[in-house]
Amino acid sequence: MSILHRMTGVALSAGSLLFIGWLVAIASGERAYELFTSVVGSILGKLVIAGFVFALYYHLANGIRHLFWDAGKGFEMQQARRSGWAVVLVSAAATVGTWYATLI
Amino acid sequence: MKSLKTWLLSLGDESEGTEHWWHQRLSAVAMIPLTLWFIFAIATLGDYSYPSAHAFVSSPINAILLLVFIGTLLSHSALGTQVVIEDYVRGKSKVVTMILTRVAYMVLGAVAVFCLLRILFG
């Protein structure tokens, strides 16, 4: 699980390039912006975005878990296993929820 | 406040471990509300057309929050990337990778701030 925290962190660093690319597109004008949305709005683009959304929720939830560990809480094997599963479930549910919310 | 040169050339030796650890935790805590805001803001952006995206960034409160988000995000990301580099890159290439990465983060931050200002005042 810990390696996933690092992997999602690295992925999200790449994702921040996409976010800054979005700002560049807006600043560059309507035509550049439409090119950007046509790429991100494609099926492949949407899949990548969904992956980034999941990585973001996972890194956020697992990061909070790490902060609790830093505070010396939740170290028991059973607690750690439970919170690990909670992180996976919460981030999966939040990804699906965000997906539905943006479609409506 | 560390000087730019000190930051660019500091290579994460043991003496800086505590400072790095604290910066990473502080930026992590700050990222919690900022990320939740960011997800909510992007998810409720409407039709994602150029006018709505432009209007979103142009709103003063959003622009300020975006600025704080970008600054915190990039420093949190830079701190994490430093750990990854330290773990997987050795010797001379570690020094080169570290400096190049930091230059890249500075360029990225400058580009983001420039675009934000251009959208706001352009």
Residue of A nearest to B85 (CA): A10
Q: For the segment B37-84, what is each residue's pLDDT rounded down to a tens digit? A: 999 999 999 889 999 999 999 999 999 999 999 999 999 999 999 999
Residues of A in contact with B31 (CB under 8 A): 60, 63
pLDDT exceeds cutoff 70 at A1: no
Q: Quote the pLDDT of residue B87.
A: 92
CB B8 within 8 A of CB B102: yes
Q: Chain A contact for B118, CB < 8 A?
A: yes
Of B28, B36, B119, the CB nearest to A27: B119
In a domain, B53, yes or no: yes
In a domain, B2, yes or no: no
In a domain, B5, yes or no: no
- Return the closest-CA partner of residue B44 out of A29, A103, A39, A34: A103
Q: For the segment A7-56, what is each residue's pLDDT rounded down to a tens digit? A: 999 999 999 999 999 999 999 999 999 999 999 999 999 999 999 999 99
Confidence of residue B13 (pLDDT cuts 50, 70, 90): low
- Return the closest-CA partner of residue B85 out of B71, B104, B72, B70: B104
In a domain, B70, yes or no: yes
In a domain, B45, yes or no: yes
CA distance A66 to A86: 13
The count of structural domains within chain B is 1
Residues of A in contact with B122 (CB under 8 A): 27
CB atoms closer than 10 angstroms to residue A23 = 21
Q: Chain A contact for B32, CB < 8 A?
A: yes
User: Which residue range forms the structural domain that includes residue B26?
Assistant: 14-121
Question: How many contacts, defined by CB atoms under 8 Å, are there between A and B?
Answer: 68
In a domain, B6, yes or no: no
Residue of A nearest to B43 (CA): A102
Of B77, B116, B122, the CB nearest to A23: B116
Q: For the segment B17-28, what is each residue's pLDDT rounded down to a tens digit? A: 888 899 999 999
Q: Quote the pLDDT of residue A12.
A: 98
In a domain, B7, yes or no: no
- The answer to whether A20 contacts B111, with C-beta atoms less than 8 Å apart, is yes
Residues of B in contact with A63 (CB under 8 A): 28, 31-32
- CATH assignment at residue B30: 1.20.1300.10
Residues of A in contact with B74 (CB under 8 A): 16
User: A2-103 has which fold?
Assistant: 3 helical TM bundles of succinate and fumarate reductases (1.20.1300)
